[in-house]
Amino acid sequence: MTITRKDQRSVRGYIIFTLALILSAYVAWLVRGVLVLLYVSALFAVVLTPVVHATSRLRIGHWRPFHGSAAILFLLLTVAAALTAFGFLALPPVIRDLQSLNGEIPARVPVLLVKLKQIPFANNLNSVQVIGWMQNLVSHSASSMLLSLTNWAGDLIQIIAGFVLTLYFILEGKGAYHWFLSFVPQPSRQRLDTTLERAAARMQRWLLGQLSLMLILGLVSTIVYLFVGLRYAYALGVVTGLLNIIPVLGAAVSFALALLVAAIDSWGRMLGIAIFFIVYLQVENSWLVPRIMRNRVNLPALAIFVALLLGSAVEGVLGAMVAIPTAVLVSVLLDEYLVRKPEPE
């Protein structure tokens, strides 16, 4: 059997393509952090673009004060003003109480021990042990914070870079999107464009659903905090609603903060907060999330849960935040290219 020159060129082409594919995968692995940052920034830009467009359409008579980049500037100033107001109104009482608590620790420890000794296996504790444990905890926390300053600086640079990239994609996203589509052959370009537009619409509906869940939890938790007489009720309600954007972990952090504040005052408040969170999580997971998110993103509850697990495992908190939009994108692409049959030409 003779091998023609054409076959030799074909074999060489396959070998070169395979080597190029391996080299590309290796380079992508080396710069995976940058690629993840680009992907997350583009994803945030997709879901936030409708907010910018809605702001740019605001009118005062015939005047549109927030046209173009002014809409982004207005939103940034609004967020900065809200954070500043929250800091001035919520942080001073917390700092003042922490300073007061720091001076009252020696007097509060015996009272705390009396309550702790009512718990089984805790009756052997004494004041010296507890004070020493608390001092070691504070010292260890301070050392850990000092040692992690470098990591925090690196994370801050990543956050700033992601923020700048998100702004760029919002402002220049159309040009970048069409540049990306230019690499796709013309016969398949229109189909991919339509598919990605459909995925973007579902991602934007996901944002509306997520904002609805954040608003519901923020309002309900604030009402419950006020009802049980929890200190910093308004501040904790805002934090609880905002942290709900981080699936699973956000609720856990909110739960821990509220329990910590409630434990300062009484075990009764702590029990009330615990009951509230247990009931709310059951209602949210079994009724709110399936109805709001399934209708918004058209994904079953199991797919949403698996996406959250995979996102958390791959990229931690950031991965969990973009897990559902990524699942929406993957489901739309699979539906278009694997489930649907191509239309006959």
Residues 32-60, mean pLDDT to the nearest whole number: 82
The model's pLDDT over 215-257, given as tens digits with 9 standing for 90+, comes to: 888 899 989 998 988 888 888 888 888 888 776 677 778 888 8
pLDDT at position 345 = 45
pLDDT at position 67 = 74
- Name residues whose C-beta falls within 8 Å of residue 63's C-beta, 6 or more positions apart in sequence: none
The DSSP annotation for 82-120 comes to: HHHHHHHHHHHHHHHHHHHHHHHHHHHHHHHHHHHTTST
- Backbone torsions φ then ψ of 99, nearest 5 degrees: -65, -40
CA angle, residues 77, 85, 43, in degrees to nearest 5: 45
pLDDT for 143 beyond 60: no
Residue 46: C-alpha distances to residues 22, 173, 287 (Å): 31, 9, 28
pLDDT at position 154 = 58
The DSSP annotation for 218-255 comes to: HHHHHHHHHHHT-TTHHHHHHHHHHHTTSTTHHHHHHH
The model's pLDDT over 308-321, given as tens digits with 9 standing for 90+, comes to: 788 877 777 777 77
| pLDDT band, residue 106 (cuts 50/70/90) | low
Name the β-bridge partners of 60.
63
Judge whether 328 and 203 are in contact, CB under 8 Å: yes
pLDDT for 142 beyond 50: no
Rounded Cα distance between 216 and 336, Å, is 34
pLDDT for 122 beyond 70: no
Least confident stretch, 11-15, 57-61, 94-98, 126-130: 126-130
Rounded Cα distance between 318 and 310, Å, is 11
Rounded Cα distance between 252 and 280, Å, is 12
- Selected residue with higher pLDDT from 151 and 240: 240
Whole-number average pLDDT of the chain = 76
pLDDT at position 223 = 92
The model's pLDDT over 253-310, given as tens digits with 9 standing for 90+, comes to: 888 888 888 887 778 888 888 899 888 888 877 777 767 776 677 777 677 778 878 8
Rounded Cα distance between 280 and 286, Å, is 10
Tokens 């945030």 appear where?
Answer: 44
Rounded Cα distance between 38 and 34, Å, is 6
Residues 46-66, mean pLDDT to the nearest whole number: 78
pLDDT at position 90 = 72
Rounded Cα distance between 74 and 225, Å, is 32
